[in-house]
Amino acid sequence: MHLEARQCNTSLGISITVLLLLLAYFGIHDPNGRASRSLSTRPARQLQNSLNWRTRMHRRPRCRWTAWHDARFAPLRNANRRVMIALLLHQNGDLISTLAQELPVVLEWVGVQNVYLSIFESGSSDGTVEYLRSLSQILDAIGVQHQIITHGEARQEIVEGPRRIAVLAAARNTALRPLYTGKAAAALGSGPDEVFFMNDIFFCAPDLLEMLLQYRRQGMHQACATDWGSHRLYDRWVLRTISGRGWWRLGDPTKEVFEPLLDDPVDRRRWDRHLPLQVFSCWNGASIIHASAFLPPHNIRFRQSKADWEDESGNVPSNLTVKASECFLSSVDLWKMGFKRIAIIPKASVAYTVDHYDAFRKDDESFAPKADDEVFEWVGNWQEAPPEYVVNQDYGRWGPPERWGPWDEQ
């Protein structure tokens, strides 16, 4: 009797496993996540579902797409604009299934012929490299030109070490190498119009499309997402208002919720209505930058602060500290080169965990501008000059006081 019971349980277990595999393969039901849209080819969908099964221990957002999204993002549909997308990944095995679920949706919407994708992975040991092979197969199945560099410079030292910004800047520049060398232009038939850089974020396709829509419609030079942590915007080290202030006042470090933009009431009104607003600097999980900024005659590169060098020629590093983020400095350099239209997009809310994404997501019609807000959605009068001084949170130290300095000192 006990033997029969064990055989019955074993058979039941095998049947359930086979059923789950079939459900995952055909995409009939997936309790762990949901794509915004189905991909256009069956091989791509099958590869996607197979990866979902192998990464079933990792959560993905349950995304959605309605007729409202069709109408809102219609101007992006196969438009004659080319974009290079770049990502840095390290120990992001839990993220790859989300990338494979949502990024191909974005690529197919804007036109796979219009996109070149570059991924730089640096020495992961958590399955990231294996999952990236599956992502590459999905990209091949939908026809996206791409390069994926794996086992790049290992960066254990960047977590706390003094070379954090130098290593990150070098990695970002490596990811953009196809832009510098002309490889991306050759693949696309013409040079990219935009560089779309993404961090290791959880998102749904409408978040990235909202960024592209606002960037293109409003003639921006840089557009940034809003990245969320627990109860507040995450990347305060990079983000500065157009008045040069931090996004919220520093106070009690044990306080979880900080009121944003208390010293900038006009910006606060736009923020509360989820409308784009001009800033001095941003990155915040994802950033679109005018591709020409990285090409002659501008030749902007990600870098560390000049204060971290022995002299301004940039030849001899002295102590290689992390006084300022390479992402903050990219906005500084954009201002220097005359790229002034830098804005943050509140509706493009992304995060570094699925829980935080679900708590702050704004990817559906309920957050769409209504009535007068449709007019006020436009940034309008762009400030043509940077603030004379900006606040600095040197070395990422979050306790007060902050230090004010000239906007271009670093």
CATH number assigned to the domain comprising residue 133: 3.90.550.10
Report pLDDT for 235.
87
The dihedral built from the CA positions of residue 350, 352, 354 and 358, taken in this order, carries a sign that is negative
Report pLDDT for 310.
46
Torsion, CA 258, CA 262, CA 265, CA 266, rounded to 10? -50
Give domain status of residue 16, yes or no: no
Report pLDDT for 21.
46
69, 208 Cβ separation under 8 angstroms: no
Helix (H, G, I), strand (E, B) or coil at 44: helix
What secondary structure letter does DSSP report for 401? P
Give domain status of residue 225, yes or no: yes
The neighbouring-strand residues paired with 147 are 118
Report pLDDT for 57.
93
Tokens of 115: 């996109």
Give domain status of residue 283, yes or no: yes
Give domain status of residue 125, yes or no: yes
Give domain status of residue 339, yes or no: yes
- Kindly report the backbone phi and psi dihedral angles of residue 84, in degrees, each rounded to the nearest multiple of 5, phi listed first: -105, 125
Domains: count for the chain? 1
- Residue 109: give the domain boundaries: 28-406
Give domain status of residue 390, yes or no: yes
Kindly give the confidence (pLDDT) of every residue in the chain, 410 residues in length, as a single tens digit, with 9 standing for 90 and above: 443 444 444 444 444 444 444 444 444 445 678 999 999 999 999 999 999 999 999 999 999 999 999 999 999 998 999 999 999 999 999 999 999 999 999 999 999 999 999 999 988 898 999 999 999 999 999 999 999 999 876 454 444 455 678 889 999 999 999 999 999 999 999 999 999 999 999 999 999 999 999 999 999 999 999 999 877 888 888 999 999 999 988 765 555 567 889 899 999 999 999 999 999 999 999 999 999 999 999 999 999 887 665 444 445 455 545 788 999 999 999 999 999 999 999 999 999 999 999 999 999 988 887 766 666 688 888 999 999 999 988 877 766 678 899 999 87
- d(CA 208, CA 213) in angstroms, rounded, equals 9
In this structure, how many other beta carbons lie within 10 angstroms of the beta carbon of residue 19?
A: 11
Whole-structure pTM over 0.95, yes or no? no
In this structure, how many other beta carbons lie within 10 angstroms of the beta carbon of residue 84?
A: 27
Give domain status of residue 3, yes or no: no
Report pLDDT for 405.
92
Give domain status of residue 347, yes or no: yes
200, 89 Cβ separation under 8 angstroms: yes
- d(CA 105, CA 93) in angstroms, rounded, equals 20
DSSP labels, 103-165: HHHHHHHH-GGGEEEEEEE----SSHHHHHHHHHHHHHHHT-EEEEE-S-S--GGGTTSTTHH
Report pLDDT for 2.
41
Among all chains, which residue has been given the structure tokens 């693949």?
Answer: 187
- d(CA 39, CA 43) in angstroms, rounded, equals 9
- d(CA 334, CA 222) in angstroms, rounded, equals 9
What secondary structure letter does DSSP report for 15? H
Report pLDDT for 374.
63
